[in-house]
């Protein structure tokens, strides 16, 4: 589980643990990981491992996956939840701002998914990959070209891997959250005009919470979702269904 120290990643990790999974948490902050691990272990009684890592270091990702396999004794479910963004006018966007977003949001899930595929093939076991996409895979808004591009591309990657790796019994799906109350959206939540816009566009009339994504994640990770692959599940309070 990447991006597991807070927000959506932590909520999904705790949700999976509450349904019987032992979880390996990956994020940059060792302190936040330790706090998350303690909270999840106390709440669920499951085993929790922590792996502090900068996932922007793409060259280190295959080795990180191997370390997780050795310490945890195997991997059945990969959740790619780490993400970042950059906000600014697209005409002023520089590659130094665009590239890190693409690296963490798109290339990192590709590399981890490749490592997962190689592992599943080597040991002859099925696998589940869950990518955290975005409502912005459905439609765009101004000033977040890098984020939107990365998440739209992540849907394409999800579908491609699902079709290609079905023969290995590896399912690949994506969850696309709407506007969720996390640290990543803190500045948007604090903007009264933006907050009103989100509430006016969301049929359920509220921001989502990280816990709102747990049900779909558990479905996709469990035997109940064994015939689901290549799909994108919008958890957005009805936003994508409304005109």
Query: What does pTM read for this prediction?
Result: 0.97
Confidence of residue 224 (pLDDT cuts 50, 70, 90): very high
Sheet arrangement for strand 77-80: 77-80, 127-132, 170-177, 232-235
Q: Report which secondary-structure segment, H or E, holds 17.
A: helix 7-18
In the block, residue with structure tokens 């491609």: 160
Percentage of the chain surpassing pLDDT 90? 99
Domain span at residue 180 reads 7-235
**176 occurs within a structural domain:** yes
Q: Is the pLDDT of residue 150 over 90?
A: yes
pLDDT of 22 reads 98
**2 occurs within a structural domain:** no
Are 147 and 106 within 8 A, CB to CB? no
Query: Mean pLDDT score of the chain, rounded to an integer?
Result: 97
pLDDT of 75 reads 98
Residue 193 zone, left/alpha/beta (φ > 0; ψ -120 to 50; rest): alpha
Angle, alpha carbons 145-236-13 (nearest 5°): 90
Percentage of the chain surpassing pLDDT 70? 100
Total domains present in the chain: 1
Confidence of residue 243 (pLDDT cuts 50, 70, 90): confident
**243 occurs within a structural domain:** no
**142 occurs within a structural domain:** yes
Whether 234 is a known active-site residue: answer: no
Q: Alpha-carbon torsion 240, 220, 152, 86, what sign? A: positive
**242 occurs within a structural domain:** no
Find the CATH number of the domain harbouring 80. 3.40.50.720
Q: Is 107 or 184 the better-scoring residue by pLDDT? A: 107
pLDDT of 104 reads 98
**115 occurs within a structural domain:** yes
Q: What is the Cα–Cα distance from 195 to 182, expressed in whole angstroms?
A: 14
Q: What confidence tens digit (pLDDT) does each residue in 22-47 have? A: 999 999 999 999 999 999 999 999 99
pLDDT of 184 reads 83
Q: What confidence tens digit (pLDDT) does each residue in 184-202 have? A: 899 999 999 999 999 999 9
**127 occurs within a structural domain:** yes
Q: What confidence tens digit (pLDDT) does each residue in 50-100 have? A: 999 999 999 999 999 999 999 999 999 999 999 999 999 999 999 999 999
Active site residue: 19, 119, 147, 179, which one?
Answer: 147
**79 occurs within a structural domain:** yes
């Amino acid at each position: 589980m990447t991006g597991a120290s807070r927000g959506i990643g932590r909520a999904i990790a705790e949700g999976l643990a509450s349904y019987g999974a032992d979880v390996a948490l990956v994020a940059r902050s060792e302190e936040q990981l330790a706090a998350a691990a303690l909270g999840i272990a106390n709440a669920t009684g499951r085993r929790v491992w922590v792996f502090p890592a900068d996932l922007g270091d793409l060259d280190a990702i295959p080795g990180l996956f191997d370390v997780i396999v050795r310490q945890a004794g195997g991997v059945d479910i990969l959740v790619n939840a780490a993400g970042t963004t950059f906000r600014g006018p697209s005409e002023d966007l520089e590659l130094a701002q665009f590239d890190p977003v693409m690296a963490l949001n798109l290339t990192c899930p590709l590399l981890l998914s490749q490592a997962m595929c190689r592992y599943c093939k080597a040991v002859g076991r099925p696998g589940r990959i869950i990518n955290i996409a975005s409502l912005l895979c459905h439609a765009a808004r101004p000033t977040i070209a890098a984020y939107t591009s990365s998440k739209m591309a992540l849907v394409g990657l999800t579908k491609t891997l699902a079709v290609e790796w079905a023969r290995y019994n590896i399912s690949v799906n994506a969850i696309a959250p709407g506007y969720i109350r996390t640290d990543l959206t803190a500045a948007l939540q604090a903007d009264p005009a933006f907050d009103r816009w989100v509430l006016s566009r969301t049929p359920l009339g509220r921001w989502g919470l990280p816990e709102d994504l747990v049900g779909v994640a558990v479905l996709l990770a469990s035997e109940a979702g064994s015939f689901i692959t290549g799909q994108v599940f919008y958890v957005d309070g009805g936003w994508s269904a409304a005109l």
